[in-house]
Structures are given as structure tokens and as C-alpha cells.
Structure 1
């Protein structure tokens, strides 16, 4: 219905971020405020980590999740939808696949979790992307804003630390300033963050989008406190043995949308994902037996995710 920018309803999203920031300088101020906050290293206790092509939603009353977040975004965008009345929040890590459905599902989940709260409005925050040479981020930002514009609700864009506002120059190379962020579920505060522990089944979750899975999966049930991975399938990756034989630099150059700015662990994670695909070419058969998801529950003693045994 309406995307609200700087408190003003818009019939159409701006054609590009330059126009957005020129017409609405408020976003420069809010981005500067976010960038002035030191980046926090967040441990696994109380963390719900959202990987690429995933989303998760929860509420302030959730005793299992204190922070929801994601990182390792270069050309990707972290999208946060929050209801100011209930505090319900949804976060996704979008790369251009499944954007429309993801936006619709985020809004739907937050609305469902906000039933019984007549007061409040929906707010949208976007973090990530940069002025990359191939213009990936710019196209993604526009497609996300278009997707929100097409929804049958009014949503207020309160933060857009994206594109030019999230770009710096290092060694004559443009790169992102922020690579990740977290949201304090109880307060709604969004802050720069990095997450050394990215939760269970990391290689399996990466294998899904690595092999072309387009859907943005909802990975958390806050009513049960369960992290849910799968079930899903992917086709065996042709040439995976050959990929694993290549040099780190070859993998970086060929498998990244922004090889010049990837974090140091990028290649290591790609290799772990390729190895997982090599070892599990048919996950529907060998990983998700009887088509059952992998469920994880928060351990009360350690505070980390532990498998739910059947």
C-alpha cells in the first residue's frame, strides 16, 4: 500500500539511493548514528543467528532469544521489520533471491505476533550493501523497497544504512563499513555486530543457497523456542571435486559477488560448504531422514542451541 519515507507516504520508491538520500536527509543522520556505535562481538548465548536466504521472527517475551542478527553481508542486505507496539521483530539476510515472498512473510509473521496490540506501527530498517562496482547492492536495495511498496500495509522506513552511506575507501577499493548487525529483542535497539558463532548446521544451511535454493526460509518458531533447519533438498553439485582442488584465490574470485572485500574467513566457509555438498549429495535421503527437520532447543545450562532428539 504505502512505503513511508521520513514520515511522508510515497506512491513509488525512489529510483535509486542517491535520490533517496538527497530527498530524505534524515537517513544520513540515522546512518551516521548507527555507524558511530562500536561494533560488538556477540557470543552464542541467547543469539539467534540468521544466515543468507533465511529469516526469523520473535517477541520481547522470548526467554530463549536475546539477540537476533546476521553478518558477512557485502552486497547483501539485512532487513528488519518491527512493530512498535508489541516489539515483535523479524530479521532476514537477503541476496536477491526470494525477495518478494520474504518481505511478505516477514510482515505476516510480525503482524501475527502483534495480535492484541492495537497501538503501534510497522517499521523497516535496512543495513548493508555498498557502492560495489557491479551495482549489485543498488539493484537489491531497490527491489527490496519495491517489494515493501507492494504490500497491503503501511510501513515506515526508519533506517537505511545502505549503499553510499555504508561505503568507505580502503587502499583505493570501495568496501562496506558495516558487515553485520544485531537487534536487541527486548528493546528493539539495532547495533553493529559480528558473530563468530553462526549457529548449528552452518555448512548444511549454506549448501542450500549455494546450490541454487531460491526460497528465504523461516528458521525459528518462537512459540516453541525451536530453531528449525529443513527439510529441503538440493541437486548434486557438478564438479564439486574440481572446485575443492582450486586455489583459495580462484574460489574467492569465482564464487563471490565482491571478492575484493570479503571477510578473511570467506574461502574457509566456502570450502566447508563444498565439502558438505560432496559428502551429502542427496540431503533429502541422508540428512533429513523421513523428511524430518533438524530441531534445536536452547540449553538452559549452556545457553546454546542443542539438538532435539527424537
Structure 2
């Protein structure tokens, strides 16, 4: 039986997803290279509907700072509080010595060295990476140039779905 990614979408049943591991069920093969069928799926609690979440046009506020944070030694953290509808990016720093060199690397090299699966990356992967490196180059000491007075960046979600930075 061929697995269909639509099996999680448009379900009438209620479900409580605690952990979802997709191995070969989420794999398709194109020209000898394995690709995921689903790059992202979300579940909206209010409407109790699953939906594709890999094609959001709006990825939320301050995407460059959020991306640059992955180059810090802070590890992964939860930045969105669904109860207050606030997204908080706490102050962080990183070693920026390598950034200037990365900005001049060929696109193929960036893809090769910064992706765990270069053949499967979406077309915008390298562009996003270069934008992140540009942000890091512009803010080589983010604790001084971006997080003024060591204050976090806090954004609240508005009723219309937009984000507003708090003072």
C-alpha cells in the first residue's frame, strides 16, 4: 500500500499527537535520491485540522536573528509562548570570524558544508543562509549592536496575524 501524505490532513477524528516519527513512510525516491514527502505539517488546535506548514510566506518576526542564533552555543530553545502569543528572542552571541569567508564561498560549497542533506534542500536554502551570514557580518557583536542594553527582542502577535515589536 502506497503511503499518502494526505492521510493526516482533513481528518474528522480528533487526535493528540505527542510524537510523530516518519521514516520510510515519509520518503520518496527521485533519480536515486531519497526526499521527504512532507517537509512540514502543522496542527491547528482551534479548528482541529492538520495543514501543510512548509510554504508559509510569513515565517514570523526577526527571521535573520532567529537563524543567526543557530550559530551560537545556546542550543535549541522554545521562543514562542502560545498562551501570551509572544515570541521572544533572548540575547545571544556567536563567533563571527568565519562569516566574511562564508559570504564569498560558491553556492555549491555553502550547500555542501552547511546542509546535512544538500540534494534535498529547498531552492531558497542558500539564499537564506547568505542573508543570515550578512546579518551576522553586520552584527559581529550582537550583544552590542542588536540586543541593546542586553534586552531581548519581544514580539506580540496581533489579531490580524501580524507581529509587533514591543518596546
Say if 2:156 is the partner of 1:297. Answer: yes
Contact 1:182 1:190 in 2 (8 A): yes
TM superposition score normalised by structure 1:
0.47
Q: Specify whether residues 215 and 239 from structure 1 end up closer, same or farther in structure 2 by C-alpha distance, changes over 3 A only.
A: closer
Match of residue 64, structure 2, among 203, 218, 238 = 203
Please, which runs of 5 or more residues in structure 1 have no aligned partner?
1-27, 40-83, 85-121, 127-159
Aligned to 2:43: 183
User: Take 1:220 and 1:275, find their aligned partners in 2: how far apart are those partners?
Assistant: 25
Match of residue 253, structure 1, among 112, 129, 137 = 112
Aligned to 2:78: 218
Would you tell me which structure has more strand in proportion to its own residues? 1
Residue 258 of structure 1: how far off its partner (Å): 0.3
Helix, strand or coil: the match of 1:251?
A: helix
TM superposition score normalised by structure 2:
0.84
Q: Which has the higher contact order (CA 8 A, sep 6+)?
A: 1
User: Take 2:129 and 2:147, find their aligned partners in 1: how far apart are those partners?
Assistant: 22
User: Take 1:248 and 1:283, find their aligned partners in 2: how far apart are those partners?
Assistant: 26
Deviations 1:178-217 (A, max 9, x none): 11111112144333332222111111111111x2434221
Helix, strand or coil: the match of 2:88?
A: strand
Helix, strand or coil: the match of 2:18?
A: strand
Residue 38 of structure 1: how far off its partner (Å): 9.4
Residue 243 of structure 1: how far off its partner (Å): 0.9
Say if 2:26 is the partner of 1:166. Answer: yes
Please, which runs of 5 or more residues in structure 2 have no aligned partner?
10-14
User: Take 2:6 and 2:81, find their aligned partners in 1: how far apart are those partners?
Assistant: 33
Count of residues paired in the alignment: 161
